[in-house]
Amino acid sequence: MKKKTIAMCSLVLALFIASCGGDGNQSAPSTAAPEQQAGTTESASYDPKRGEGKFDETNVTVGALDTAKAANGKTIAETKCFSCHKVTNEKLVGPGWKGVTERRTPHWIMNFITNPDPMIDKDPEVQAQLELCLVRMPNQNLAEEEARAIVEYMRQNDGAK
């Protein structure tokens, strides 16, 4: 029984590592302080309220909670997100989601979940979070509709009506 447990744990660990791996071209997390990184030309043009990506307040609007979209977002999150995140404040591999829509704009969240690498490299708050979690968020290759559904689920989790 002990051998089966060890074999199962090894398999789960191998699958986890494989699912979080990228294309092998990811650079190691920077060890420079956020203040040093913020001084670079690339970081100087970064808007921490918008994030890095194609989404902004003109193409991501939210209104009343869309429960069907939130249900779809939950289904997607169960597959792509919940191995690393919880919907509470509790950290798993990544930070918990509770209150994220109160701290971040919907377009920032969509930019981050569809384009995590540039934001990890540029955003001082994301870099600070990386220092705590020690694992870069992998790009899950979410379609725009999937990302929007996850944002709606996050809004529902935070009590949006």
List, for residues 102-158, the tens digit of each pLDDT value.
999 999 999 999 999 999 999 999 999 999 999 999 999 999 999 999 999 999 999
Under a CB-based contact definition with an 8 Å cutoff, are residues 150 and 55 in contact?
no
Query: What are the residue ranges spanned by the domains of the chain?
Result: 36-157
For residue 60, what pLDDT is reported? 94
CA distance 150 to 66: 11
pLDDT average, residue stretch 5-34: 47
Under a CB-based contact definition with an 8 Å cutoff, are residues 124 and 37 in contact?
yes
Closest CA to 54 of 108, 10, 120, 124: 108
pLDDT average, residue stretch 29-50: 55
CA distances from 4 to 11, 15, 111, 129, 141 (A): 10, 16, 42, 36, 34
For residue 30, what pLDDT is reported? 44
CB contact set of 82 (below 8 Å; sequence gap of 6+): none
Which CATH homologous superfamily contains domain 36-157? Cytochrome c-like domain (1.10.760.10)
pLDDT > 80? residue 96: yes
pLDDT average, residue stretch 6-29: 48
For residue 49, what pLDDT is reported? 76
pLDDT > 80? residue 3: no
pLDDT > 90? residue 43: no
pLDDT band at 159 (very low <50, low <70, confident <90, very high): very high
